């Protein structure tokens, strides 16, 4: 297994982002029901899981990474949901955790979700910087796709 490509940015910051991400997900999942009771929240959870699965499958085996660091033998990926949004796995995680938070709303869970969104935005900016450094075509791809929501952000 090769070492991650750190590029010129990040150092161990990416690992800190992942630790905070896992802490937020853990806090949300351990402080309420894993299957949210209201039907709309269940539908959001199902949609999020389908989007995440589609993203992982479209990337292919061994391409999924939790850290923002690029795999040495990685490739620039633009198929599946990546045709429409640059970070479908991030938005899938955000939506899944939102569904859980809405299933049992509390200040603690809402704060964890807001922290998760903030850390994922920091993480994606780091990842995008590394992608732009490594793949010259990434900048033109970024101009025609959105980070999370098509036509919005």
Average pLDDT, 10 consecutive residues per value, the chain (153 residues): 46 92 98 89 95 92 82 84 93 96 95 97 94 93 82 56
Total number of domains in the chain: 1
In this structure, is residue 133 part of a structural domain?
yes
- Does residue 126 form part of some domain? yes
Flag whether 92 is in a domain.
Answer: yes
Answer whether residue 148 is part of any domain: no
pTM over 0.85: yes
Report yes or no: 91 and 85 within 8 Å, Cβ to Cβ. yes
Examine residue 96 and state whether it is found in any structural domain, yes or no: yes
Residue 88 maps to a domain: yes
């Amino acid at each position: 297994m090769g070492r991650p490509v750190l590029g010129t940015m990040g150092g161990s910051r990416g690992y800190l982002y992942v630790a905070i991400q896992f802490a937020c997900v853990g806090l949300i999942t351990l402080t309420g029901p894993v299957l949210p009771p209201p039907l709309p929240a269940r539908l959001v959870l199902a949609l999020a899981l389908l989007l995440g699965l589609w993203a992982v499958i479209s990337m292919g085996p061994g391409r999924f990474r939790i850290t923002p660091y690029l795999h040495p033998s990685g490739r620039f990926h633009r198929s599946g949901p990546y045709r429409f949004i640059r970070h479908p796995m991030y938005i899938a995680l955000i939506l899944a955790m939102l569904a859980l938070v809405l299933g049992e709303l509390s200040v603690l869970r809402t704060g964890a979700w807001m922290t998760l969104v903030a850390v994922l935005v920091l993480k994606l900016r780091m990842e995008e910087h590394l992608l732009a450094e490594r793949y010259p075509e990434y900048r033109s791809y970024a101009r025609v796709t959105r980070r999370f929501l098509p036509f919005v952000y």
